[in-house]
Chain A
Amino acid sequence: MASQGPPPASGGGTAAAGSPQALNQIVIEYLSKKGYSKTEAMLRVESAHTDHEGRPILSSLDDQPELKYEKSYSHLKHWIDNSLDLYKPELRRLLYPVFVHSFLELVKSGYVVPSQTFYKEHAHEHESTHGHDLKNLKALSLPQHIEDDQLAKLYRENKYRVILSKTTFTLLMHFLEETKDAGGSVILRFINQRIDIKTISGRPTMFSTAGDDEGMLGEEEGIQGHTSGHLNRGGVLPSIKLGHLPMDKELMSDVEEELREEDARMKDSTRNEELGVSTGGTLIEEFQKIKREESEDSPMRDTIPLPPYTGVDVEREVRLVKESRDKVRLAGVPAPALPSVCMYTFHNTHDGLNCVDFSEDSTLAAGGFAESYVRIFSLKGAALPSIIPAENLPSIPKTRRLIGHSGPVYGVSFSPDNKYLLSCSEDKSARLWSLDTFTGLVVYKGHDNPIWDIKFGPFGHYFATASHDHTARLWSCDHIYPLRIFAGHLNDVDTVEFHPNSAYVFTGSSDKTIRMWDIQTGNSVRLFTGHTAPVTALAVSPDGKWLASAGEDSVINMWDLASGKRLKTMRGHGKTSIYSLSFSVEGNVLVSGGADMTVRTWDVAYGTGAPTADAPEGTGGVSVGDGTTKVDGVTNGAGKIRKGGKDVVATPDHLSVFYTKKAPVYKVQFTRKNMVLAASGFLP
């Protein structure tokens, strides 16, 4: 393909017949004779830019538009590479937006070949961090594509944020001003128009945090998206209440009463039964420990209207208390104990199983299939009777198929009381199913594109959906229209998760960000940037303070919700997607499962600066297993193993890995007893 652009500028129109040099001489002589001194001076200045043949000397880069971006980019890069190590990490972050905009400018001006050579020349420099976007940019070749393409629009319509320390910024500006002609002006133009450089006071650091790793984005870096008015990054973050939703007073007293009865019964029965496992305290004591009481950090109960409680709710609360008492404690020094993992492997799926969910009481599993149906499995092998008598077949089936969707089912979610199931599908609808009758109850239509994920709220009644149409929506079961539409993501919303107090919703998106939304106002209250690929899984710690997120970039990030800051990055999964995350009941162990056919466990507290689950008290700590005591502070020292080298090395907070036999892990879930249920599909 030949160059598309106009031929190199040949603009000097002064060339006339004869030697232009001689002609100039004649004219100057003429001007001085006539006394036009100013005109003469002007001509002298202007003719200085032409060579002896009268053609202009191409000193200004603006005269070679197809080359100027390449030149100025290389110019900047060269300068950065030669700058002090101290500044390099910060400055390097600037290269990517410059690269993208140079490329887009080239495409926009119709320089096909130069744009492609430019891409080829430099794309690999950003592969590790921005591989996902680069792949999409690569396709652009015609100016109209720029108008058309979402990603290109995204970059051109939004400013890319880069954070530089003041010193570095001054240095950069100085350099760019100095070398205006060699390309500085081009870069300056980008910085003015497309890049938002945020200067922070203080000296540049070597980014002792995860920051200077290749392949990692700094926090807050990147396109911030439609900066809606409320999301003032520079100022104060909107306040959020992360406490538990207080329990209904009457419900609480009912539950207490129930527990007291239960305790009395237990006392009677244990006297007779010798086999009984020794019980750890009474239920009522346990309840006092875990009950959700109002605190100053908890959202108001009346802001989230819930239907009045019923006997089922009391039963559930009682069960929760019992399970909480009977749970396996995953405490330990220096690292938490490891959980048991029960793996449910699904066979004969032919890779058609899209999603799995376990019911809270671990009796049922639901799978969403590519063949547009949902299947309910009884995990204990018990029959699944329907309360419709006529519908029951001679033998009660052990699995049930729920038919209704007209496209692949991408998400299923059990209600907390195990009476309902939600599913969402490519057919743009979400459906509510009854687990008493195994029939469909409601179809929720509203999204105008496939729905990727659906989740019930922690108290039922409300649920949230995430869709291809770039929005997430909040619904309640009794309304067929959405109550809130969470708009703000710049690309597909891939996953959705509730905060344990039901007052907030988290969404993970293909725009590589995570947002936290206030259910009350429908506003985005936090934005978490740092992933380098679409976010595929989210989990909120049971105490509601931390968020774990994982994505196609196969890293897990841990965020502090209150400050909106990243606490740490956990690496260890292969270069494949992570499908599911789950916190243990105490919140000290995170378990993850993904396409690399493993289940992995992670130490949550490690390296976050938070005290470890059971910090050794004075006496040096009780030894675990081998009788080694751990000296305080070692934890932070062993921080970074990774230095150079391409392959990912697990971070030290990686506790263990369990391989499956050729079965990608679709779902991991901690039960209330701290056992992990995992689901995988066997792919022979």
Chain B
Amino acid sequence: MALWNADTVKDVSESVGIPSLSDEVAKNLAMDVEYRLHQVLQEALKFMRHSKRTTLATTDISNALRVLDVEPLYGYESTRPLKFGEASLGQAQPIYYVEDDEVDFEKLINAPLPKVPREVTFTAHWLAIEGVQPATPMNPTPSESARQSETTPKGAPPPASTTVPTTADVSVRPLVKHILSKELQLYFDRVCSAVTDESNDALRAAALASLRNDPGLHQLLPYFVQWISEKVTHGLKHLFILSVMLQVTHALLENSNLFIEPYVAALIPPILTCLIGKRLGSGGGGDAAAYELRDLAASLLKAVCKRFGDSSHTLKPRLTRTCLKHFLDPARPYGTHYGAIMGLAAVGGREAVRVLVLPNVRLFVEGVVKGDGGSEAERVVGAVVSVLRLLEEEEVAGVKPEGEMEESMREKLVERVGETVAEEVWRVGRPGLVKAIVEPVGGL
């Protein structure tokens, strides 16, 4: 018990110039000092408690001394925590002392002013929605919670499976159950109906904006993904539905609060359907809207590849293969070819165009377009040319003057890509492009 023993008192008395203190006095003093220390600490703890802290600070001691009508100790009012050094003298108990660095006045005065402390700010987030803790970055992960719960009592079910803690129904319940709060269900239903409502643009925009920005939707993600794929499979005839589904996909992809990666694989098929589907929309093949939809799908695909291409290394090759297959299959309708070409460009970029499209252009145009002058054929040719134009960019440095566009080049061009495309390319009138097509880098 004796934290403060008579020897310490003697040491102190010697240090203040009282050489011989009787044992009895020292002992009594020591006991009293210890009691007073306890008293001060007891008061200081109250201040700590009411400051809602769990570490005692020097200010608590000063406040305690003030309450006890004792003059506070000056010089310890410190914003930085006190550091204690330890020194051992022989076999005696270690001695603790406050590490107090010497400060050079000159330095202190000339030192630049310390940084202004940052303002107190607050952030708001959902700690729980209807009793379920959403998996947002602001909330601890289940493993962190588990670690915390080691220090706090068990018995509370982990937040994800928070349900009624009754004894009877525990065994009946499946191990993992995705529980969706009523609020979220309602939200889901409302968003679904709002988005597919063709007549109310404002509502749809609001719903999409909500999908784009709301942080708490993670729970709903699998439902949305499934809903999209269902809608797409069953709504091939409705261009509106398809395009809205792509927009929803887009919105979900853009929502920075969602961890969408696991669902990418499930999101791809609907996009691909919209890109290279055989028949999209109820109108004839020449439906311009259908091509717009394919464009949208292609750009979406590009975004997906850009974001997840690195983390999933089989993603790009798989997509490229699918597109290439459709591109090279002459039996497919124009729409599919169009989509495949755009898809190839979107997924693989320039490299894919050079390696996969360019060598096949001539065959493709001859086999598929066959001089058909229909609007759909034109579109396909347009698509080919537009992806070919991707090739040009790398040649920008070597732009040659207009005069170099000779007939010989044109012949080579025709030989390389076929009459129809050559015509188009020539009409664009970019020597760099022509050169890139005629003399592809990499010697193909």
Contact = CB atoms under 8 A, between A and B. Distances in A.
Interface in B125-169: 125-133, 138-140, 144-145, 148-149, 151-157, 159, 162-169
A339 B128 contact: yes
Contact of B163 (A494, A626, A631, A651): A626
Given A140-B35, A661-B138, A347 B46 contact: no
A658 B179 contact: no
Given A354-B51, A661-B144, A641 B155 contact: yes
Contacts of B168: 628, 630-631, 634
Contacts of A353: 52, 120
A574 interface: yes
Contacts of B32: 142, 145
B31 interface: yes
A141 interface: yes
A369 B120 CA distance: 10
Contact of B179 (A334, A625, A648, A676): A625
Contacts of B427: none
A353 B120 CA distance: 9
B49 A136 contact: no
The listed residue with most B CB atoms (<10 A of its CB), out of A379, A634, A661, is A661
Interface string B19-56: 00000000110011011011100100011011111110
Contacts of A1: 2, 6, 27
A468 B117 CA distance: 32
B52 A626 contact: no
The listed residue with most B CB atoms (<10 A of its CB), out of A1, A149, A375, A676, is A1
Contacts, number: 238
Contacts of B132: 338
A19 interface: no
Interface in B2-25: 2, 6
B1 interface: yes
Contacts of B152: 573-574, 596, 598, 657
B125 A659 contact: no
Contact of A338 (B35, B130, B140): B130
Interface string A627-656: 010110010001001000001111110111
Given A552-B49, A634-B168, A659-B144, A649 B153 contact: yes
Contacts of B163: 625-626
A365 B179 contact: no
Contacts of B175: none
B113 interface: no
Contacts of B6: 1
Interface in B173-195: 173, 177, 179, 183
A518 B55 CA distance: 37
Given A410-B50, A572-B155, A139 B34 contact: yes
A599 B2 contact: no
A345 interface: yes
A343 B124 contact: yes
A344 interface: yes
Contacts of B322: none
Contacts of B37: 139
Nearest to B142: A659
B123 interface: yes
Interface string A126-163: 00000000011011111001000100000000000000
A33 B281 CA distance: 141
B402 interface: no
A577 interface: yes
Given A344-B122, A492-B46, A658 B31 contact: no
Size range of the interface on B? 35 or more
B63 interface: yes
A367 B153 contact: no
Interface stretch (A112-120, A252-260, A415-423): A112-120
A120 B1 contact: yes
A573 B154 CA distance: 9
B126 A343 contact: yes
A476 B266 CA distance: 65
A243 interface: no
Interface string B293-334: 000000000000000000000000000000000000000000
Given A1-B2, A579-B52, A139 B39 contact: yes
Contacts of A552: 49
A351 B131 CA distance: 28
B53 to A, nearest CB: 5
Contact of A648 (B118, B153, B166): B153
Given A141-B34, A340-B129, A348-B121, A595 B166 contact: no
Interface in A429-481: 449-450, 452, 468
B99 interface: no
Given A138-B38, A655-B165, A659-B149, A576 B127 contact: no
Given A348-B117, A353-B120, A649-B154, A468 B67 contact: yes
A36 B120 CA distance: 96
Given A344-B122, A601-B131, A650 B167 contact: no
B156 A347 contact: no
Contact of B125 (A140, A345, A571): A345
B138 A345 contact: yes
Contacts of A141: 1, 31, 34-35
A624 interface: yes
A206 interface: no
B264 interface: no
A335 B34 contact: no
B1 A347 contact: no
Nearest to B119: A348
A346 B122 contact: yes
B35 A343 contact: no
Contacts of B124: 342-345, 379
B172 interface: yes
Given A142-B31, A354-B50, A468-B46, A654 B128 contact: no
A574 B126 contact: no
Contacts of A625: 163-164, 179
B139 A626 contact: no
B186 to A, nearest CB: 10
A17 interface: no
A346 B120 contact: yes
Interface string A273-284: 001000000000
B34 A342 contact: no
Q: Sorted from nearest, which 7 A-B pairs have the closest CB atoms?
A: A338-B131, A139-B38, A650-B155, A574-B152, A628-B169, A343-B127, A657-B156
Given A142-B28, A337-B131, A342-B127, 13 more contacts: A338-B132, A338-B162, A345-B138, A347-B121, A351-B53, A571-B153, A574-B152, A625-B179, A638-B167, A648-B153, A658-B159, A659-B159, A661-B144
30 contacts: A112-B31, A119-B1, A120-B1, A136-B42, A340-B128, A340-B183, A341-B128, A345-B125, A346-B122, A348-B121, A349-B120, A408-B51, A410-B50, A410-B51, A450-B47, A450-B67, A468-B46, A494-B49, A552-B49, A574-B152, A625-B179, A626-B169, A630-B166, A638-B166, A650-B156, A654-B155, A654-B165, A655-B162, A658-B139, A659-B139
